[in-house]
Structure 1
Amino acid sequence: MVQAQFWYVYQTHCLLGKCKQPEKAYELFQAMIREGCVVNHESYTALLSAYGRSGLFDKAFTLLEEMKNNPDCQPDVHTYSILIKSCLQVFAFDKAQMLLSDMESLGVRPNTITYNTLIDAYGKAKMFAEMEATLVKMLSEKNCEPDVWTMNSTIRAFGSSGQIEMMEKCYEKLQSAGIEPTIMTFNILLDSYGKAGDYKKMSAVMEYMQAYHYSWTIVTYNVVIDAFGRAGDLRRMGYLFQLMQSERIKPSCVTLCSLVRAYGQAGKPEKIGGVLRFIENSDIKLDTVFFNCLADAYGRMGYFVEMKGVLKLMEQKGCKPDKITCRTMIKAYSSKGMTKHVKELQDLARSVERSEFQRKKPDF
């Protein structure tokens, strides 16, 4: 019996925690009951998590009521936090607020994870008033300390919307509260300053990271390479790309897209050729997004033979063109009145749309 109970609990938790298979999880839940296993708080919370992750909120809330009516399986902050997160992932803020009210009525206090989940969701939805109010409430709690996740979610929200001054104030306030920034924090600051065009402050962050020995990650390099590329500072962009390789950090398609985009905007086809030669001598797996950037760069420069050659290169690399590939090339040809080529691409676009429809068509 003990072994059976362990197996059912283990299987149920695996299904709930990692997979969106609420039906199978429910079957295991019922099997536990039939086998005489103790259905405890963890089992209920696990099943509720499966329903929440799958968007089956009616079933999740019904199960929550069952837990509330069972003295041995009362929902706790973990149960509520899981369900709140599921609601916020589909922007169901009304449901999340209802759960918070329910917690308060039961005397269940939110913890750091609950608040971080709310702050992150409000930030992504650009609901800044709600995000700030949640942060203020969190800071007022005695036993609910903000952490680096709080910091990162807050500064990302303000930084991504261009509210640099608010981002800096939050960063300073949370740092003065004893929260130590991580490499992710600095990546967010770099990205925010780069997109705001404040390269002086971006450089200051880079110098700070080097002075205090924060090891750069591929995300760090991608952020700064893209920022200097968009600014047209090809010399610094190229230096960072070389530095990245000397640090034995393998470039990704994101890195290569930034390089190609910058060289295309600067009208440097020979530099794009250099990127392609680098790719030939590497094992980097290219994707359709990269080829779309490449086609766009050649189209901007009026290199139509090379742009058309992108389709052949995609075929060689096992990448299929998508709607963006076709639109990018059609736009380039149209700008020069090359109607024959436009028609060819329009035929290709229709073929791509048919293929995508067939892939998405449900199998009855």
Structure 2
Amino acid sequence: MQDDWQRSLALHDWMIEKGGYAPSIFAYNVVLKNVLRARQWELAEGLVLEMVEKDLVPDKFTFSTLISGYGRANRLEDAMGWLQEMEAGGIKPDLVIFSTLIELAGKVKDYSKATSLFSKLKASGIAPDKVIYNSMINLYGKAKFYKEAQGLLAEMKEAGLMPDTVSYTILINAYAESQKYLEAKQVFLEMKTKGIQLDVTTCNMMIDVYGKLEMVRDAEELFWSMSKTLGIQQNVVTYNTMIKVYKEAELLSEAFNVFYYMQNKGGVEPNVITYNTILFLHGLTLQHEKAMRLVRKMQQRGIEPNAVTYSTLISIYGKTGKYDRAAFLFKTLREKGFEMDEILYQSMIVVYERAGLVAHAKRLLEELKQPDIVPRDTAISILAKAEKLEEAAKLYWRSHEAGEIKESVTYKSMIQLFVRNKRSKNAIDVFENMRESGFLPDSETTVVLLAAYGQLRQLEDAEKLYLDMRERGCTLEKEVHFQMLKLYGDARKIREAEDMFAALKLEGLDGDELYLTMIRIYERASKLNEASRLFSEMKSRQQVGG
């Protein structure tokens, strides 16, 4: 049977060529929609050209269909091209089209384009709705533009749109993901003060935030108040988060109590994450028999253990001296065709090394070099994380030459391994391989690469990397900027450091950490007056902010 797009195209052609029907915008738009769903891009563009040739002017629906179609495929540049065509034809985009493009820009992490579209939306006289504002708060949060995200809450109020649960929850999540837990807590308190309704997602996030701030009692209070006073039904994520908070606070009995309450009174079925956390707690108390029973209970309830489950159990066997059980479990998993990932290999290698079975550990390491047993990317990552420098390096170079590296994380693992072992030249070589393969480094890797260039005294190359990442519109963590600033200081390029410091302040990255980095640069360059002046400026800012 032909696909929908082929049938609709054939019917459309028959109607015009043999049926005697006059071409119409409506008919073309219907066919265009089906063709775009099938991702037939050239055909879609051909249909638009055919419309024009038949003196049919594409309308708002035509362009909306094109923008949505390309948007579903994450083809931002093409979608933006159709927006330009639309405007060139004298058709003004509406709120829905802007919303589609902003969401798409966020999806592909082109935050600068999203910001530009948002500004264009407002400049065109269209009032953003709550959905658009929430999308932009989310985008600013992911881009770590916290000041702008906070500013949108105020802008919403001025526009007569009260920020809702989603608005505040998005901002809390943005702060929490960047480990800015105090700021997340502040947003939550504001949310409560303003009487904004909480939901289960907000509560789950804040239980985790309280845990990270070591405010266990506050986490506990929020957890129990959900069902008792807030009328919010706890879900499996709620219980998992509370158990994790207790685990991190080493309050094991409280964690076990919540686990039992969850099943017996809470009416919530544990999932694999719940069981893995409880299994880890049994490991802390070295109770291998309870750990084994727990895994059996999982399976009886129809929950399949995953690699984390088995690696935790192997580790528990290792810690309790049950090396034969660990080896038997590992062997059984392989024989049953279980997907052996890096976590399992690392756990078993640690057990063998703990038991003094060096030959067995080496045998596993040798197995990693055989692609029919473990994929190359996985093997290299395992060796890198296990700090097996020479083995990882040999396997990497051989795999690279054979074109067997498929994942960006492999390059990242090797770059970090080489820099940790003061082999910066090798790290840069891997980076060149990474670029040739079409991958870009993330912020964490960029910091490491800048440090490598610094060790090699290759400031120009570091600068080139930094500027290239910025020009590409990549979202860079503040650590990247600070590392580049530090390199200027180490090279005694004070003027360049001052220019960069001023530029970062203008971009809103004006926290104490930026000031302290620049102050240290002045101090190392014996420019004590400048350091003192900047310190006073920082203190004045703190007083104004306070």
Report TM bin, short chain. 0.7 to 0.9
1:24 aligned onto 2:40:
yes
- Number of residue-to-residue matches in the alignment: 353
Take 2:294 and 2:50, find their aligned partners in 1: how far apart are those partners?
63
Aligned residue runs from structure 1 range 152-163, under 5 A: 152-163=169-180
* Contact 1:323/1:353 (8 A) holds in 2: no
Q: CA deviation at 1:302?
A: 4.4
1:352 aligned onto 2:396:
no
Which residue of the partner structure matches residue 203 of structure 2?
A: 186
Q: CA deviation at 1:50?
A: 3.6
Q: 1:341 aligns with which of 360, 380, 395?
A: 360
AA of the residue aligned to 2:281: A
Q: 1:281 aligns with which of 291, 295, 300?
A: 300
* Contact 1:12/1:46 (8 A) holds in 2: no
1:311 aligned onto 2:333:
no
AA of the residue aligned to 1:147: D
AA of the residue aligned to 1:219: V
Which residue of the partner structure matches residue 264 of structure 1?
A: 283
Q: Answer with 89-98 or 123-132: which moved more.
A: 123-132
Q: CA deviation at 1:53?
A: 4.4
Which residue of the partner structure matches residue 196 of structure 1?
A: 213
Take 2:158 and 2:272, find their aligned partners in 1: how far apart are those partners?
44
Cα distance change on mapping 1:237 and 1:327 into 2, 3 Å:
same
1:75-113 per-position Cα deviation (integer Å, ceiling 9, x unaligned): 122212221222223322221222123223322332222
Indicate the RMSD between aligned Cα atoms, in angstroms.
Answer: 3.3
Q: CA deviation at 1:49?
A: 3.1
Query: Which protein shows a greater Rg?
Result: 2
Cα distance change on mapping 1:198 and 1:178 into 2, 3 Å:
closer
1:60 aligned onto 2:82:
no
Q: 1:228 aligns with which of 243, 246, 250?
A: 246
Indicate the SS of the match to 2:368: helix
Aligned residue runs from structure 1 range 125-136, under 5 A: 125-136=143-154
Q: CA deviation at 1:238?
A: 2.0
Which residue of the partner structure matches residue 208 of structure 1?
A: 225
* Contact 2:223/2:238 (8 A) holds in 1: no
Q: CA deviation at 1:258?
A: 0.9
1:145 aligned onto 2:162:
yes
AA of the residue aligned to 1:215: Q
Q: Which structure 2 residue ranges, 5 or more long, are not aligned? A: 1-11, 13-23, 379-398, 408-546
Q: Which structure 1 residue ranges, 5 or more long, are not aligned? A: 16-20
AA of the residue aligned to 2:96: H
* Contact 1:51/1:60 (8 A) holds in 2: yes
AA of the residue aligned to 2:374: V
Q: 1:328 aligns with which of 329, 347, 355?
A: 347
Cα distance change on mapping 1:187 and 1:43 into 2, 3 Å:
farther
* Contact 2:292/2:313 (8 A) holds in 1: no
Indicate the SS of the match to 1:250: coil
Take 1:306 and 1:197, find their aligned partners in 2: how far apart are those partners?
37
Take 1:333 and 1:241, find their aligned partners in 2: how far apart are those partners?
32
Q: CA deviation at 1:203?
A: 0.8
Aligned residue runs from structure 1 range 15-54, under 5 A: 15=37, 23-24=39-40, 27=43, 40-54=59-73
Q: CA deviation at 1:182?
A: 0.7
AA of the residue aligned to 1:75: P
Which residue of the partner structure matches residue 459 of structure 2?
A: none
Q: CA deviation at 1:61?
A: 1.2
Indicate the SS of the match to 1:216: coil
Which residue of the partner structure matches residue 189 of structure 2?
A: 172
Q: Give the alignment's TM-score, normalised by structure 2.
A: 0.57
Q: CA deviation at 1:125?
A: 3.8
Take 1:221 and 1:186, find their aligned partners in 2: how far apart are those partners?
11
* Contact 1:287/1:319 (8 A) holds in 2: no
* Contact 2:74/2:107 (8 A) holds in 1: no
AA of the residue aligned to 2:80: F
Q: CA deviation at 1:342?
A: 0.9
1:233-287 per-position Cα deviation (integer Å, ceiling 9, x unaligned): 2322222222222344332211111112222123222221221121232211333
AA of the residue aligned to 1:320: E
AA of the residue aligned to 2:303: I
1:146-180 per-position Cα deviation (integer Å, ceiling 9, x unaligned): 22111111112223444343223212323444421
Aligned residue runs from structure 1 range 83-94, under 5 A: 83-94=101-112
1:280-325 per-position Cα deviation (integer Å, ceiling 9, x unaligned): 3221133323323333443444443232233245347753111232
Q: Equivalent pairs: percent with the same residue?
A: 24
Cα distance change on mapping 1:217 and 1:11 into 2, 3 Å:
farther
AA of the residue aligned to 1:207: W
Take 1:111 and 1:145, find their aligned partners in 2: how far apart are those partners?
11
Which residue of the partner structure matches residue 105 of structure 1?
A: 123
Take 2:293 and 2:116, find their aligned partners in 1: how far apart are those partners?
57
Cα distance change on mapping 1:38 and 1:226 into 2, 3 Å:
farther
Q: Answer with 172-181 or 61-70: which moved more.
A: 172-181
Take 1:333 and 1:127, find their aligned partners in 2: how far apart are those partners?
47
Q: Answer with 201-210 or 29-38: which moved more.
A: 29-38
Take 1:360 and 1:163, find their aligned partners in 2: how far apart are those partners?
34
Take 2:200 and 2:376, find their aligned partners in 1: how far apart are those partners?
44
Aligned residue runs from structure 1 range 284-299, under 5 A: 284-299=303-318
Cα distance change on mapping 1:27 and 1:262 into 2, 3 Å:
farther
Q: Answer with 201-210 or 244-253: which moved more.
A: 244-253
Take 1:42 and 1:271, find their aligned partners in 2: how far apart are those partners?
63
Take 1:157 and 1:134, find their aligned partners in 2: how far apart are those partners?
14
